């Protein structure tokens, strides 16, 4: 079966533009997570969904960042008015249930803001 799929794999955008990053979790996984990874650092937690609802969005850096998961499957991370500091790899992960021992990560979307 397919793993976690993220699209696009690379995105270059101009400062100030709006971007959407998509995550297709493993089928049947109810828990979905977004992380952000800057160069040379480990991934940092952004937001966690259980089903359709955002159970914890405490990692979102500011109100320019927003994520949705309307049908409890695909999720979209939305960034408004992008800044150069938003450049990073955005990773999505899913697990069958909350608290499962293993989270499965996608390959990430590399976002570059120029």
Partner 1 sequence: DAKTTQPTSMDCAEGRAANLPCNHSTISGNEYVYWYRQIHSQGPQYIIHGLKNNETNEMASLIITEDRKSSTLILPHATLRDTAVYYCIVRRSNYKLTFGKGTLLTVNP
* Least distance CB 109 / partner 1 (angstroms): 11
Nearer Cβ to partner 1 (14/40)? 40
Q: Note the residues at the interface with partner 1 (CB under 8 A).
A: 4, 31, 33, 35, 40-45, 48, 50, 55-56, 91, 93, 95, 98-99, 101-108
Sequence-distant (6+) residues with CB within 8 A of 100 are: 31
Tokens representing residue 32 in the block: 């979905």
Angle at 9 between CA 101 and CA 23, to 5 degrees: 45
Nearer Cβ to partner 1 (75/95)? 95
Nearer Cβ to partner 1 (66/105)? 105
Tokens representing residue 24 in the block: 């297709």
Nearer Cβ to partner 1 (12/18)? 12
**Cα 58 from Cα 61, distance rounded (Å):** 8
**Cα 48 from Cα 32, distance rounded (Å):** 6
3-class state of residue 35 by DSSP: strand
* Least distance CB 20 / partner 1 (angstroms): 19
């Amino acid at each position: 079966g397919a793993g976690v799929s993220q699209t696009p794999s690379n995105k270059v955008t101009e400062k100030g533009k709006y971007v959407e990053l998509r995550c297709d979790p493993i089928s049947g996984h109810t828990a979905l997570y977004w992380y952000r990874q800057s160069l040379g650092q480990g991934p940092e937690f952004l937001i966690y969904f259980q089903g359709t609802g955002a159970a914890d969005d405490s990692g979102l850096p500011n109100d320019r960042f927003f994520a949705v998961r309307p049908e409890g499957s695909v999720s979209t991370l939305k960034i408004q008015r992008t800044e150069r500091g938003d450049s990073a790899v955005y990773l999505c992960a899913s697990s069958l249930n909350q608290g499962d021992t293993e989270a499965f990560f996608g390959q990430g979307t590399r976002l570059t803001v120029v």
